[in-house]
Amino acid sequence: MVALETLLTLVVAALASLFMAWSIGAGSSGSTPFAPAVGANAISVMRAGFIVGVLGLAGAVLQGANVTEAVGNELVIGSVLTATASTVALLVAAALVAIGVFAGYPIATAFTVTGAVVGVGLANGGGPAVAKYQQIVSLWVLTPFVGGGIAYATAKLLRRESIPERVAIPALGGVVGLLVANIRFAVLGGETGRSLAEVGASTTPPIEIPLVGIDLGVVAVSGLFVLVSFALVRREIVVDAARGQRRFLLVLGGLVAFSAGGSQVGLAIGPLVPLLGAVAVPLPALLVGGGLGLLVGSWTGAPRMIKAIAQDYSSLGPRRSIAAMIPSFAIAQAAVALGIPVSFNEIIVSAIIGSGYAAGGAGVSKEKMLKTVLAWVGSLALAFGVAYAAFTALDALL
């Protein structure tokens, strides 16, 4: 039996988690995936908020386990995330993200949650997980350069008159097909999930390429995805280039929204993972609850942030938007696979800047960029400091 006091604390922690899920849905996972598509006039703001909520829920259920377990068990050494500690961390992080939503600035959710969880964990006597911090910081630092750089190069490629759109854009469709074939889903089995290419290749005996250890069956299925994706995108581009670009951009937005759900749900419910044993709640049920919180946040709060990102950062056309979304999808899936909490605001905004500078920096607000970077760095430090101080004070009172 769970003591009444402990049960009440768990309920408060669960409510804080739902508030966090709503804040994330209204902010990063709900606004960033379709912001370039809205900026390119490929979809309306309200419809984007609706679709991203549904896809975010699907991503949370199918891909959310890795980041969820990392946030709950790997950010601090020791069993220090008690119900009280988790509640403090979630409330501090959610409050900062909500402030960002209503102020119109994209606060990096991963920064606030990571800072808050580490803050309460260390305040409760835990040790720093230095190796995990190195992984997280490496990804955070590399994201603007890798994402922005790929977006810049892709946008430059699409602007070259020597390469016709009926070749360049379908080729990018093939790259997306390759990524889709090899992203992992927990529901497909395996210790870390399996990809569609691995499932397709499992129907035949494995034949590995010497030295590199790659299954030829996986290569063949991946190649099939590339060819089909290339053909589908090319057909749309040949029939109507403008419409084909918009449809391809919407597909990319959907893939990024799905990836956002798989990553961001862990930021909302990860701190609850150490508490599951006390209430006998399975992780899949927790993922569904977190996904529903993301969905509600996307439907009710995301339109404001979608407008802010789509219109304030850069005046994007379809080609520059496509260039921004492809690296965003790739980085998001890499983070999900590695179990690293990552900010979708950082991913998307960096890619938008990169694609914007490919056109000479047209429409990119440098002042807005500077304020955003300061908000990201400040949110990490502020979340850590406030969470550490709040838990220390609460622990002294109790």
Per-residue pLDDT of the chain (398 residues), as tens digits, is 456 666 777 777 778 888 888 877 776 666 667 776 776 677 777 787 788 888 888 988 888 888 898 898 899 998 788 888 888 898 888 788 777 767 666 567 888 899 999 999 999 998 999 999 999 999 998 998 999 999 999 988 888 888 888 899 999 999 999 999 999 887 777 666 788 888 888 877 666 666 556 778 888 899 999 999 999 999 999 998 888 888 898 899 889 889 988 888 888 888 888 877 666 678 888 888 888 888 888 888 777 667 666 665 446 677 888 888 899 999 999 998 888 988 877 888 788 888 878 766 555 566 767 777 787 788 889 899 999 999 999 888 87
Q: By three-state DSSP, how is residue 359 classified?
A: coil
b/e code 149-181 from CB counts within 10 Å (16+ = b): ebbbebbebbeeeeeebeebbbbbbbbbbbbbb
Can you give the pLDDT at residue 313?
45
Q: Tell me, what amino acid is at 323?
A: A
What's the DSSP call for residue 191? T
* Cβ 96 vs Cβ 112: under 8 Å: yes
* Cβ 89 vs Cβ 40: under 8 Å: no
pLDDT tens, position by position, 227-265: 999 999 999 999 988 888 888 988 998 898 899 888 888
The angle at the Cα of 277, spanning 275 to 279, to the nearest 5 degrees, equals 80
The angle at the Cα of 40, spanning 37 to 43, to the nearest 5 degrees, equals 50
Residue 154: C-alpha distances to residues 159, 186, 258, 325, 356 (Å) = 9, 31, 22, 10, 11
CA–CA distance, 114 with 137 (Å, rounded to integer): 11
Range of the domain at 271: 4-397
pTM equals 0.85
| Domain count of the fold of the chain | 1
CA–CA distance, 202 with 204 (Å, rounded to integer): 5
